Structure 1
């Protein structure tokens, strides 16, 4: 799915960040925007450019979000990439020993 199909606004960005349990500092760094810009966007005080929104979507996806496009069966939104059972399985796999590597989750 391309980021052109995804609808994002400040409240959805904040909800997604909280759902993924990641700080504004980390999301802003990943999206290459200022933390204050992100916080103001989440509050509806400031708009982001289309390019900044695209990078924000990619940053939130990096932290495990999956965006749901607007459609005939329901409105747009967000969900986690993995369910709880899958997350527990991944955590078990990662705890099996060896040097930890980069997370793709």
Structure 2
């Protein structure tokens, strides 16, 4: 096992691990309950961590996590109503049409 990242809280750590697992990378959350001893240990030692089970998958897991943490900004024009859509949206806010395939 190899540590991938520290998360700010258990919810985020669980989402990251689930997302990686869904992508075919075995990941788990460690220090799940360490927040309960906050004040007894240094603050950074109580944060949950995401670990990758197979070290050879670490690089791919890092790339996927980076993509999740920094989503790409989309800029496209709706094919149905010609509205310009900015941001991570894949559906037109004006008419509800889906973003055309790339």
TM class by shorter chain equals: 0.3 to 0.5
Larger Rg: 2
Structure in which a larger fraction of residues adopt helix: 1
Structure in which a larger fraction of residues adopt strand: 2
Calculate the TM-score normalised by the size of structure 2. Answer: 0.38
Q: Which has the higher contact order (CA 8 A, sep 6+)?
A: 1
